[in-house]
Amino acid sequence: MNFLDAEYVQGFMRMANDGWEQGWHERNGGNLSYRVKTEEVELVKENFVAKEWQAIGATVPDLAGEFFLVTGSGKYFRNVIIKPEDSICMLEVDQTGEKYRIVWGLVNGGRPTSELPSHLMNHEVKKKATDGKYRVIYHAHTTNVIALTFVLPLKDEVFTRELWEMATECPVVFPAGIGMVPWMVPGGCEIAIATSKLMKAYDVAIWAHHGMFAAGEDFDLTFGLMHTVEKSAEILVKMLSMQPTKLQTITPDDFRDLARDFNVTLPEKFLYTK
Ligand code: 2HA
Ligand code: ZN
């Protein structure tokens, strides 16, 4: 089968374009990765031409032998649907989990996303924590979330609670909450370690003054998660722009009622008295 005709490749490209249309991917901002299923690798492997092995910059032994579809470093989300073979690539992780090689794409040269260590370390954590169910890691420069990292304390409890309060669906969409990474140099192993630690507990991590990481089972759920958090942040920015205080809001007991009826567990650490 032609590589670009595979349904998951189409889904990947559509998600990248949806993110572009949301305004989350100025220039080469953001990156996306998908852990490909064995049968999906089989479908397209007649198209593979393996390049040389390269260091990942992190060690991910639990991803040994896995294949990933990822955006390219310096590539623009805007271009993914018009020139996918230049903008994205399929890569294979070696048996030690220390190296990768490109097997399709990036036809004009280049490397996988500069955030490859964060993507792969997050995949490793999520693969283990969800029995292999989670397959998507998405990083975007979401405007309103970034704006909030200048005015709210960079604490998991504060971001989770404030964003939950802005839209009733939020605690149902991200019941585990949100983890905060203080400002760090992007692209390296250190920020990857900090982020993947948070991913053990959460599906969302916010990088202060930079953007967001979201993890999920498939493209719909992961894009939907990013979209929901950013929408909630937009409401919070609008609310704070009107006045600094709320006249009324969703209370801790309201959240407990919601949790009961919607069958979700909301950690009590987010339901503190203000
Ligand atoms: O340019 O978003 O964090 C890609 C990025 C780096
Ligand atoms: Zn970024």
CATH architecture of 3-270: 3-Layer(aba) Sandwich (3.40)
| Contact between residue 124 and residue 63 where contact means Cβ atoms under 8 Å apart | yes
Question: Tell me: the pLDDT tens digits for 34-43?
Answer: 999 999 999 9
Segment 232-238 mean pLDDT: 98
Cβ atoms < 10 Å from Cβ of 246: 11
CA of 186 to the centre of ligand 2 (A): 7
Name the residue of 20, 28, 122 whose CB sits within 8 Å of the most ligand 1 atoms, as the mutation to test its pocket.
28
pLDDT of 93: 98
Q: Label residue 60 by pLDDT band (50, 70, 90).
A: very high
CA of 32 to the centre of ligand 2 (A): 11
- Whether the CB of 188 sits within 6 Å of ligand 1: no
Is the CA virtual torsion 119, 155, 209, 140 positive or negative? positive
- Whether the CB of 114 sits within 6 Å of ligand 1: yes
Find the catalytic residue in 40, 66, 92, 115.
115
pLDDT of 214: 99
Rounded to 5 degrees, what angle do the CA atoms 136, 97, 132 make?
A: 35
pLDDT of 43: 98
Segment 211-237 mean pLDDT: 99
| Contact between residue 137 and residue 68 where contact means Cβ atoms under 8 Å apart | no
Tokens 């919607």 identify what position?
262
CA-CA-CA-CA torsion for 18, 21, 27, 29, nearest 10 degrees? -40
Q: Binding-site residues, please?
A: 139, 141, 210
Question: Tell me: the pLDDT tens digits for 110-134?
Answer: 999 999 999 999 999 999 999 999 9
